[in-house]
């Protein structure tokens, strides 16, 4: 890879890091070519962009954007590195988790994740990342909480109206 190619790769990575607010750093070293291709296909289906890049190029791209912001990610840049870029904070975690279950293994390994300005380091963080609520899930919960008291009031009023109707109809039947 010559200098121009390296600079082009760094610029591409910088644009991806700027475009997506969430990215995962994984190790796909022990996966077969067929498994990597399957992982790429799953990522493509879920609108998660997967890129394999050299660690030094990833580091240079991150340093040129904001060295301090990404400082906790640098220690994860070793071995074979695949980056998963997503608008969803938890979709890559779900992909990794599901992929592991289907292949009865523990690969790919999560080295780090940058989600909502927070850094999650190590494979042990995968379970926490799977449980992260997306924006739409949080909105749904808030709407449900807001609707709950109103629906209880409406139910109570309807029940009271039914009782009053039943009470008014009972003497007329006699």
DSSP reduced 3-state for 63: helix
Once rounded to an integer, what is the mean pLDDT over residues 56-63? 95
CA distances from 122 to 63, 67, 103, 116 (A): 21, 20, 21, 17
∠ CA 8-14-15, nearest 5°, is 90
CA distances from 82 to 127, 131, 156 (A): 19, 22, 56
pLDDT at 5 over 70: yes
Nearest to 81 by CA among 23, 124, 150, 131: 23
Q: What is the pTM of this model?
A: 0.77
Nearest to 80 by CA among 104, 39, 109, 114: 109
The residues, ordered by sequence, that sit 6+ positions from 76 with a Cβ below 8 Å of its Cβ are: 25, 111, 112, 121
Which one is predicted more confidently, 95 or 165?
95
pLDDT at 172 over 60: no
Q: What is the dihedral of CA 71, 72, 74, 79, to 10 degrees?
A: -170
In degrees and rounded to multiples of 5, residue 83 shows phi and psi of: -100, 135
Q: Which of 4-8, 9-13, 58-62, 162-166 has the lowest mean pLDDT?
A: 162-166
């Amino acid at each position: 890879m010559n200098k121009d190619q390296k600079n082009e790769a760094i610029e591409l990575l910088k644009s991806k890091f700027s475009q997506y607010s969430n990215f995962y750093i994984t190790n796909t070293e022990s996966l077969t070519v067929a498994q990597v291709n399957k992982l790429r296909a799953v990522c493509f289906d879920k609108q998660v962009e997967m890129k394999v890049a050299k660690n030094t190029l990833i580091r240079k791209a991150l340093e040129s954007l904001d060295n301090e912001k990404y400082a906790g990610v640098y220690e994860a840049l070793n071995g074979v590195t695949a980056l998963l870029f997503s608008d969803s904070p938890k979709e890559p975690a779900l992909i990794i988790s599901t992929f592991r279950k289907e292949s009865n293994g523990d690969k790919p390994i999560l080295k780090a994740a940058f989600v909502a300005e927070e850094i999650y380091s190590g494979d042990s963080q995968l379970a926490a990342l799977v449980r992260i609520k997306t924006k739409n899930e949080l909105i749904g919960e808030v709407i449900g909480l807001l609707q709950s008291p109103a629906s209880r009031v409406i139910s109570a009023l309807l029940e009271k109206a039914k009782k009053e109707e039943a009470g008014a109809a009972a003497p007329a039947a006699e």
